Every structure is written in C-alpha cells, then in structure tokens.
Amino acid sequence: MVASRDPEALSVKKQTAEHFEYQNEHALSHDDEVFLAEFPEEAKTRVLRKVDWRLMPMLLLLYLIAYIDKTNIGIFP
C-alpha cells in the first residue's frame, strides 16, 4: 500500500507534533524555584566549593590522561 502524499494530511500531522524541548521552558518546578530563591548565598558558596573540590581533581586527571594518550598516538607512525 502506498502512503498518501496529501499536503493537507501532512500539514495536520506537523501542526500536532510537539517538541520536547519546547514543552517546558522552565526546567525547574515551582517548588524548586522557591527553594532556590530562599537558599542562603553562604550555603550556595559552600556547596559549590564542595562540588569543585570533588570534581576538579578527577577532571584534571582525565584531562592529563587524554593529553598523554594524544601524545603517544602522535609518536607512533
């Protein structure tokens, strides 16, 4: 069976399609927005510092391994 190429039917399908990225412009719920608005700045700073101290060593190690890997590939013909 051959699919219908009716332009009117195609336009109806296109009009009813919804893109996930446009469904919710705000990724946070209302409760999360209220929580973040009331969260103290000092606590935000402490949380970010803690995350930085835990992530940065691992990221630096991964960056070093990637650099060494690129260097070794360049040495061998």
The average pLDDT across 35-47 equals: 92
- 66 pLDDT above the threshold of 70: yes
CB–CB of 28/36 below 8 Å?
A: yes
Q: Is residue 61 part of a domain?
A: yes
Q: What is the pLDDT of residue 32?
A: 87
Q: Is residue 24 part of a domain?
A: no
Least confident of 3-12, 31-40, 66-75: 3-12
Q: Is the torsion defined by CA of 44, 46, 51, 52 positive or negative?
A: positive
In Å, how far are 11, 19, 26, 30 from 16, measured between CA atoms?
9, 10, 22, 27
Q: Is residue 77 part of a domain?
A: yes
Q: Is residue 70 part of a domain?
A: yes
* pTM of the predicted model over 0.75: no
Q: Is residue 12 part of a domain?
A: no
Residue 62's domain comprises 51-77
Return mean pLDDT, the chain: 79
Share of the chain above pLDDT 90, in %: 39
Q: Is residue 63 part of a domain?
A: yes
* CA–CA dist 61, 54 (Å, integer): 12
Q: What is the pLDDT of residue 6?
A: 62
